[in-house]
Amino acid sequence: MASPHVLLFPFMSKGHTIPVLQLASLLLHRGASVTLFTTPANRPFISTALSDTTVSIIDIPFPKNIDGIPPGVESTDKLPDMSQWPRLVIAAKLMKPGFEKALTSLPRISFMVTDVFLGWTLESAQKFGIPRLVYHGTSNFSMALSFDASPSQQLLIDSGSDNKKLFTIPRFPWIKFSKNDFDPAFVDPESQYKKHIEYILEQVQATGKSYGIIVNSFYELESVYADYWNREVKPKAWCVGPLCLAPAPQNKAENGQTRSWIQWLDRKQEEGKPVLFVAFGSQADISREQIKQIKTGLENSGVNFLWVVRSKLAEDDDEFEYQVRDRGMLVKEWVDQREILEHSCVQGFLSHCGWNSVMESICANVPILAWPMMAEQPLNAKMVVEVIGVGLRVDTSDGFVSWEHLKKMVKELMEGEMGKMARKKVKEVGGAAAKAVAEGGSSWKALNELINELHEET
């Protein structure tokens, strides 16, 4: 029998692309051949990440002149602001003819893994007789809580303007929720997404008719929710993560140079100073006033910190950089976040709780100070703090975080008792993650089963 051939098509955002590249690496290590679809503007990032691998990359043209999307922008992190992201999801469907044309030119495909926001690929998959798995990008916990939004949405509406009012969701009566655990855009009648929500839901609903879901998580982390999903919801969720533990391609240290921030971390290591890593992902929009509070909070906390800030959010601020010169570093470039988290002096992560960041932090045994900003991040934060106990939560219930509160929480994470407990717990959970992906572990087995199941069918 020929080796399995898998087609991957990630959505055009960093958070949905990076883990799929890691999945590609896992598939190659299982002897599969891999073809990956992307758009021309996303190709450089992807081909750099996959250089030294045999993945073949095919560009599908992205539509031009879409209202609200500046020319040349083909990924959410390049949008002027995140209110435009639904338009990018909608525009992606116009890639369907290009997608199908590319499919006709490929050798037999065992299965495809396409993003949850590319639900339209299911029709093509059916037409070509290829099983489609969905890359969903989040945990079983948030999948189980969000798959049927209506009951919780009603509860959210019922709690009115009280962000802290507690309620339970019938299928998970042991957890107390508040409005604070959900994206404000989800319930806000003025939400900028409202107009587009139906289209997006349509994409997501195609998941229900697909062959299965690839989940970037491991069974032991959230067995209750994985079991719930596979018993009550379906299609089957295959937990094959954490994907960030996949063997990285060989090209890591581009041109052999050590980055200045790694040298800085090495120095902190020599000085015996623990460092807080601060990063809010590739997409979050943060107001100027909020950035100021973060600066003041970090400055007053007295901790050492490395802050990776998207250049569009970071105005030059020599005074701040001068004030924190001995113990703070600001980086305005794309970094290898995993490499930073794995540095042994990094002892805490102030994070927006994008699911990839959560997985990466756990795998690096770094406790999290959770500051969720949008989408399912509040649910991820809930999971981090209340379900697995590997972090603390910044209080975001006022929609704004003061420097005083941030300072207090940063100190607690880095120096306090609660931080100590989270640090102990994260080592345990990180150990379980490593076991899950190692030979014979639950994620290892799940990926093998999936490949065998689908390869035999073709």
> In this complex, which beta carbon is closest to ligand UDP, that of residue 124 or of residue 282?
282
Identity at 168, one-letter amino acid code = T
Identity at 268, one-letter amino acid code = K
112: left (phi over 0), alpha (psi -120 to 50) or beta: beta
Q: Please give the structure tokens belonging to residue 421.
A: 């407990």
Interface residues with ligand UDP (CB under 6 A) are 14-15, 18, 77-78, 281-283, 308, 310-311, 332-338, 354-357, 360
Residues 6+ away with beta carbon under 8 Å from 320? 295, 299
> In this complex, which beta carbon is closest to ligand UDP, that of residue 320 or of residue 355?
355
Residue 101 burial (CB < 10 Å; 0-12/13-18/19+)?
exposed
What is the C-alpha separation between 142 and 17, in angstroms, rounded?
A: 19
Q: How far is the CB of 6 from ligand UDP (least distance, A)?
A: 21
Q: Which helix (H) or strand (E) holds 192?
A: none
The answer to whether the CB of 119 falls within 8 A of the CB of 203 is yes
> In this complex, which beta carbon is closest to ligand UDP, that of residue 121 or of residue 357?
357
Q: How far is the CB of 45 from ligand UDP (least distance, A)?
A: 6
> In this complex, which beta carbon is closest to ligand UDP, that of residue 14 or of residue 393?
14
Q: Dihedral of CA 307/308/312/316: which sign?
A: positive
> In this complex, which beta carbon is closest to ligand UDP, that of residue 111 or of residue 277?
277
The answer to whether the CB of 280 falls within 8 A of the CB of 373 is yes
Q: How far is the CB of 24 from ligand UDP (least distance, A)?
A: 14
Q: How far is the CB of 248 from ligand UDP (least distance, A)?
A: 11
> In this complex, which beta carbon is closest to ligand UDP, that of residue 142 or of residue 356?
356
421: left (phi over 0), alpha (psi -120 to 50) or beta: alpha
Determine the distance from the C-alpha atom of residue 235 to the mean position of all C-alpha atoms in its chain, rounded to a whole number: 21
The answer to whether the CB of 307 falls within 8 A of the CB of 329 is yes
Q: How far is the CB of 12 from ligand UDP (least distance, A)?
A: 10
Q: How far is the CB of 336 from ligand UDP (least distance, A)?
A: 6
Q: How far is the CB of 325 from ligand UDP (least distance, A)?
A: 21
> In this complex, which beta carbon is closest to ligand UDP, that of residue 138 or of residue 301?
138
